[in-house]
Structures are given as structure tokens and as C-alpha cells.
Amino acid sequence: MRKQIIELQKRLIKTGYLGQTFAYGNAKLPSSTLIVNLSSANHCPAKARGLCKVAHCYALKCERIYPNYKKKNLTIEQWLRNARTVDIVALMLAYIDNASTPITHIRLDEAGDFYNQDQVRQWNKIARIMWESRGIKTYTYTARNDLDFTCAPYIMVNASNPGTSGAVREFLCTPRQVFDNLTPKRGEYKCPGDCKKCKVCYSPNNITRVYCREH
């Protein structure tokens, strides 16, 4: 990481954590996407409330296999829940301005979910800042159909539960055999499993339901 980022993290995250707070893409997401986990998979608010119906959580599996990934998520989760919005924005912009590839999108919650309605409002404010200052779009996936996302117009919300207020579409994790034999209807789409080749989840379109093959 760049020295500027390391020094800022030392000042803002007062736990001695010097690892990477936000990730530049992953195996499926391009490096132009900045990944921000609001919680760990281990502490996932949707799972705790019985709202997440995924049988095999990929993020939770990764936290079991890779202890450092779990430690990072737990540390950043604690910081994000207590940090000032201005400090979160400052650290995100440091990552964005020092990225080797220009950042075009922010993906919230590769692991975990929103904790409460106040956090939804906070991150809509951050998403608005990112859009107005850098032209960067923010999108997410959520199982929190008990929260209202109509207050978050700057976050493109893909919901895994029907009836989620403010979501742009449903994103359903589908058992493998069901997915393989499924024929999408009009307005539906089968996720190809490679975000580097597909833009459905973070682009305005007429797709109202996406089926994703369970990991």
C-alpha cells in the first residue's frame, strides 16, 4: 500500500491494524471496483435475524479458511460502526486516489450486511459524495428486507428477499440444480458468475430479478 494510505490508517484506525482496509476487486470483480465490507460474515446482521436464506455462505467459508481475512473484517466492522463519516470518506478517497486502476464502482458488503437504518442513511450520504465528487457509483446486495432503502437513492440495491423497499431488483441465490435447469422469463436474468464481463447488478436496466448459482 502507498505510504499516504498507511499513515492515514494509523491515525484513523487506532487498533494497530496496518492491513488493507478496502480491496481493489477480487476473483470475480474488476480492480476498478472498491470493496467495502460493513460487517464481517461472522457477525452478519441478516444472518443473525434469520433473513439470509443462503445455505452455504461463501464469505463465511472464506473467513473460516483465511483467519487474516476474518480478522480484517472484524477490525474494519468495528471501526466503521464508530467512525465519523468524514473519516470514512477520507480513507476511501485515499484508496481511490492511489488506485492503480481508476475506480468506477464501490461494492458494499462482499461479506455481511447493513446493521440498521442509520447505517443505510450514512452510506447513502457517502455514496452521494462519491458520485458527486468522483463520478463513482455505489451498489450492494442485501437480505435486510426489514430496512427501508427508499432513503438511499445513491445506492443501487440488489435484494435477496422479495418486497425490499427501495431495491432496484431481486437477486436470488439459487441451488445449483435448479439454476442449471432454469429458463429465465421476461425481465429475469441468469448471472454468468463473472462481474468482469457483466454489468447488470450495477447498471440501470429492465432486469427485475437475477438468479445466481449458489457457490
Residue-wise pLDDT for 199-214, tens only, equals 999 998 999 999 999 8
Interatomic CA distance for residues 213 and 174, integer angstroms? 5
Helix (H) or strand (E) holding 170: strand 169-174
Residue 15 has pLDDT above 90, yes or no: no
pTM above 0.85, yes or no: yes
Give the total number of structural domains in the chain. Answer: 1
**Beta pairing, strands 23-24 & 155-159:** unpaired
Domain span including residue 156 = 3-213
119 CB contacts (<8 Å, ≥6 apart)?
Answer: 38, 81
In tens, the pLDDT along 64-73 reads: 999 888 888 9
Q: Which amino acid is at 130?
A: M
Gap between the Cα atoms of 15 and 74, Å rounded: 12
Task: Sort strands 33-36 and 23-24 into parallel, antiparallel or unpaired.
Answer: antiparallel
Q: How many Å apart are CA 36 and CA 128, to the nearest integer?
A: 15
